[in-house]
Structure formats: C-alpha cells, structure tokens
Structure 1
C-alpha cells in the first residue's frame, strides 16, 4: 500500500498550509494582546527566558558626547507559586497593564490576587519608575486571603 502523502500530495500540501496559517494567526493574536497591554509581544510569549542584559547594551552614547540615556524599558519577572512570566515594560507605564495581562494569561481575576515588590503591595497606578525598579526585578503574586 502506498503512503497516503504520496497518493494525495495536494491534500498534504493543503493541510500543511492550513496548519502554518493557523500558527501565524495565533502569533498575531498573541502579539495584538501584548501590544494592547503596552508589552513586548516576544516577552509576553514567554517561550524562552530573557537573554542576559549584558548581551544588549541598555544605554547609548549620543553623537554629541552627552551622558548615556536612561533605559526606557525594563524586563520584569512575575512569579506566583507555579509560574514565571517575563514582561518587557516601559518605565512610565502603569503596572496595571502588566497585572491585567498576567491575570488574563493565568485565568485569574485581578481582584483575587495581590502583587508585591520587595514585600510591599503594588498599586495599579504604580510604575517601574515610582517603585524604583531595575531591569530583571521580580513581582510576586499572592492569592488574596480574606479573614482574620
């Protein structure tokens, strides 16, 4: 008996094209969701850990010889008991966007979790600048506990 792929090469080709278009559409949806939250779509995919920051210089020297500019984006790790998700976010973006994106990704309601940075609760209106966060810092996510 012949291989079905040999008997029907056009069907095989069509299925291959459908599969690849489906994968592309998933990537586009993920990218659109990440961009809607002002996040880097490649970091939001969380396929691989962040590369060492030493590979990508974060400051540049202006042609006029001015001091290096401040890093505009930070890589932030968000962890809960079972997950680590990496986000790339602007220093001036409210952390609400990151918090909402993490909750959406994990299937949690934002009202049921608390985000902590260095043991202090993070408010949605906080930014990496207001919390004096550095590249590679971690936000911890804890389940809200109600009661006494």
Structure 2
C-alpha cells in the first residue's frame, strides 16, 4: 500500500509498504530523515495514536492505500 506521512514540520513523505510491515520502520525512517530520535516520535492515524510497541502493522491499524499518517514530536512537560 502507499501511505503519506506528514511530519509536524509540514514535510510530506510517501512510503510504499506491505500491509504486514512493522510501522516502527516508518518511524525510524522519519526520525533519521528529520534528524530526531525516533523514540520521540508519535504516529497518529485517523485521530488515534498508534501504539508504539514496534510490532504494529498497517493491516492491524486498518490502513488502506492512500491513507495519511501524522508524525508528531512527543511533548514533554
């Protein structure tokens, strides 16, 4: 499936992934691209935070081709 990840900075990145690919791979790629620690990123899909256990897949989250995922920097404090 093709998904678009929108970072809080407004940058949009497109990924072509399999439905059984772990979303942690997307998180790591976004963190590396933005120069931030991937552990500090939170993925949000359809207004719901994606659990950050590392084993979530697009299929488990109900993602379809063309869906958008928001990548937000975790707020501390």
TM-score, length of structure 1 as denominator length: 0.48
Query: How far has the Cα of 1:143 moved from its partner?
Result: 1.4
Unmatched tracts of structure 2, length 5 or more: none
Higher helix share: 1
Query: How far has the Cα of 1:129 moved from its partner?
Result: 0.4
Greater RCO between the two (CA within 8 Å, min separation 6)? Answer: 2
- Regions of 4+ moved over 3 Å: none
Partner of 2:12: 84
CA distance in 2, matches of 1:84, 1:111: 19
SS in 2 for 1:135: coil
**Corresponding pairs, count:** 74
CA distance in 2, matches of 1:130, 1:83: 25
TM-score, length of structure 2 as denominator length: 0.87
Unmatched tracts of structure 1, length 5 or more: 1-73
Please say if 1:143 is aligned against 2:73.
Answer: yes
Partner of 1:128: 58
Aligned runs of 1:1-148 on 2, under 5 Å?
A: 74-80=1-7, 81-123=9-51, 124-147=54-77
